């Protein structure tokens, strides 16, 4: 497997989009491993501070609310 940005052997995978990256090209950014309802309607999250990031994709910083799944009939 080679780096998405050059021909070198990849050393890691972007946590967000799955691109393979060599040490020269990967960056890091916080990644939320898990989230759960907290007290008083807040949300508690379990972040990883330095997850691998390719620097190309653009993860949302906040949760995106999805519509509820259609009810099965």
Establish if 3 lies at the interface with Zn ion (CB under 5 A): yes
Shorter beta-carbon distance to Zn ion: residue 7 or 65:
7
Establish if 27 lies at the interface with Zn ion (CB under 5 A): no
The closest of 5, 24, 14 to 54, measured between CA atoms, is: 14
The closest of 24, 18, 20, 28 to 55, measured between CA atoms, is: 28
Establish if 51 lies at the interface with Zn ion (CB under 5 A): no
Q: How many CB atoms lie within 10 A of CB 11?
A: 15
Which residues contact Zn ion (rule: CB under 5 A)? Answer: 3, 5-6, 14, 16-17, 22, 24-25, 54, 57
């Amino acid at each position: 497997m080679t780096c998405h940005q050059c021909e070198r052997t990849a050393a890691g995978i972007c946590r967000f989009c799955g691109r393979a990256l060599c040490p020269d090209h990967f960056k890091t950014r916080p990644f939320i491993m898990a989230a759960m309802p907290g007290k008083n309607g807040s949300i508690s999250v379990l972040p990883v501070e330095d997850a691998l990031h390719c620097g190309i994709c653009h993860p949302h910083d906040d949760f995106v609310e999805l519509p509820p799944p259609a009810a099965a009939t």
